[in-house]
Structure 1
Amino acid sequence: MTNDSMEESSDEARVESVSAITLATNDMPRAVRFYEALGFRIVHGGANEAFTSFALGSSFLNLTSETHDPIRFWGRVIIHVSDVDAFYRKAVAHGLEPQFAPRDAPWNERYFHLTDPDGHELSFARPL
């Protein structure tokens, strides 16, 4: 089915947005401190809970202490921010260590990567 035919069919269900992403952690207090240092606001749970949810614009970033297998690289979460350079400075000021300074990408975004304490790669970006 092509995109055109999908758009024409009004009775088809379609994806509208990402509601939340949930990341596993082996140390909830450490993970909560990390995301709070980035300015994420807790809306449920907290450092002493098994599940914590942060507001992320109109979506949510969740942390769960439920783990199955050792965490391995799985990809990255791309988070759009209003000012990549200011967000980078904020991360560094809180003692966090981004993988590199903000840079312009050939795909027309300014971005930098940061790895959370459990090995999840986060990309903070803004379209150019």
Structure 2
Amino acid sequence: MGIDESYLMPAYVKLLVNDAARAAAFYEALGFTRIHQDPVFVHLRWARYADVFLVAMPQAVSLPGARGVGVLLCFHAGDVSLETIATRAAAQGATTDGPRDQPWHTRELLVTDPEGYRLTFVEPTPQFIA
């Protein structure tokens, strides 16, 4: 199945955004693929079953402050190195932290998107695979 094929998703995340075009461009620069777009939302995919929907903020809604406080969206880095993702994020002006080795045998990169949502890209360390 190709990355642009439809399937039932057992889980996905919706992120309310002020500027869907800017947010979509950021995610695509990181390596997400745009699956669908309409006036209300943009469907992006990192990998199979790793989908994100960017939803335009309704005019009556205001979410001041940081988005996703206490929530991290985690993505397996796959074939893309954490250093490459960090470089792509920095080129978009994003704040990054890492990559850092974690005690649970992964290396992780934290990226904060333009809306304030925090994404973690993860790759296993050799101890995890062993």
Scaled by the length of structure 1, the TM-score of the pair is 0.73
Pair 1:53-2:36 in alignment? no
* Structure richer in strand, relative to its length: 2
Return 5+ residue gaps in structure 2 as ranges. Answer: 1-8, 126-130
Scaled by the length of structure 2, the TM-score of the pair is 0.72
| One-letter identity of the residue aligned with 2:82 | V
Once the two structures are superposed, what CA deviation does each residue of 1:63-88 show, in whole Å capped at 9, x if it has no partner? 10135451641411011102222322
Question: Retained in 2: the 8 A contact 1:98–1:112?
Answer: no
Which residue does the alignment assign to 1:13?
A: none
Q: 1:62 is matched with which residue: 31, 35, 53?
A: 53
Could you tell me how far apart the structure 2 residues matched to 1:119 and 1:18 are? 25
- In the TM superposition, residue 30 of structure 1 has moved relative to its aligned partner by 1.1
**Secondary structure, counterpart of 1:63 in structure 2:** strand
**Secondary structure, counterpart of 1:35 in structure 2:** helix
Pairwise CA RMSD: 2.0
Map residues 1-128 of structure 1 onto 2, 5 A cutoff: 18-45=10-37, 49-59=39-49, 60-67=51-58, 68-70=61-63, 72=67, 73-82=69-78, 83-92=81-90, 94-128=91-125
Bigger radius of gyration, 1 or 2? 1
**Secondary structure, counterpart of 1:99 in structure 2:** strand
**Secondary structure, counterpart of 1:32 in structure 2:** helix
Cα 1:117/1:97, change in 2 over 3 Å: closer
Question: Retained in 2: the 8 A contact 1:41–1:54?
Answer: yes
* Identical amino acids, percent of aligned pairs: 28
Question: Retained in 1: the 8 A contact 2:94–2:114?
Answer: no
